[in-house]
């Protein structure tokens, strides 16, 4: 019995909504403007009432404060990530330059390619850069 009543209430609310939508569809633009102003005024009145309520006002202030704090925390995290990336890039560049200078020195001393590759592996150079250097070694254009 209770579910039938809920279904009836829901259906009647749907019907009211559809009737209101149909009423809006046949309104003139002037009537729609008046309705929009009434809705805006009602919304503003509700907001003013809520803001005037101490507990809501405190909750709103707390929410704004939390959002500001989270924004600051996210900004700090973002800055830390950027600093970490920059430091990592700088370290990679320094390591790359050091390894290139080692390879150049070995090339200048006419060391065999296998010895140079072994040195690169010993320095834990990544495969991506290692392949690039090996390609250049094959051409002897370092």
Q: Domain spans of the chain?
A: 1-52, 54-141
Number of other residues whose CB lies within 10 A of the CB of residue 60: 13
For tokens 């800055």, the residue is: 79
pTM above 0.75, yes or no: no
53 secondary structure, DSSP code = S
One-character DSSP codes across 2-52: HHHHHHHHHHHHHHHHHHHHHHHHT--HHHHHHHHHHHHHHHHHHHHHHHH
For tokens 């973002």, the residue is: 78
List the pLDDT tens digit at each of the 142 positions of the chain.
566 666 667 777 777 777 777 777 777 888 888 888 998 999 988 888 888 888 887 888 888 888 888 888 888 888 888 888 888 888 877 877 777 787 778 777 877 777 777 777 776 666 666 667 667 666 654 4
Task: Give pLDDT, residue 54.
Answer: 82
Tokens of 135: 């390609």
**Taking the CA atoms of the chain, what radius of gyration do you get in angstroms?**
36
Mean pLDDT, the chain, rounded, equals: 77
Express each pLDDT in 80-114 by its tens digit. Answer: 888 888 888 888 778 777 777 877 787 778 777 77
């Amino acid at each position: 019995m209770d579910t039938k009543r809920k279904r009836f209430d829901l259906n009647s609310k749907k019907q009211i909504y559809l009737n209101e939508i149909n009423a809006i569809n046949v309104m003139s633009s002037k009537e729609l403007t008046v309705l929009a102003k009434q809705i805006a005024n009602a919304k503003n009145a509700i907001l003013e009432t809520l803001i005037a309520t101490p507990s809501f006002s405190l909750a709103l202030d707390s929410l704004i404060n939390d959002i500001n704090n989270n924004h600051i925390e996210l900004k700090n995290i973002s800055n830390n990530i950027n600093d970490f990336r920059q430091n990592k890039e700088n370290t990679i560049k320094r390591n790359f330059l050091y390894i290139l200078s080692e390879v150049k020195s070995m090339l200048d001393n006419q060391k065999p390619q296998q010895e140079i590759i072994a040195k690169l592996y010993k320095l834990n150079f990544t495969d991506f850069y290692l392949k690039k250097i090996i390609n250049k070694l094959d051409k002897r254009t370092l």
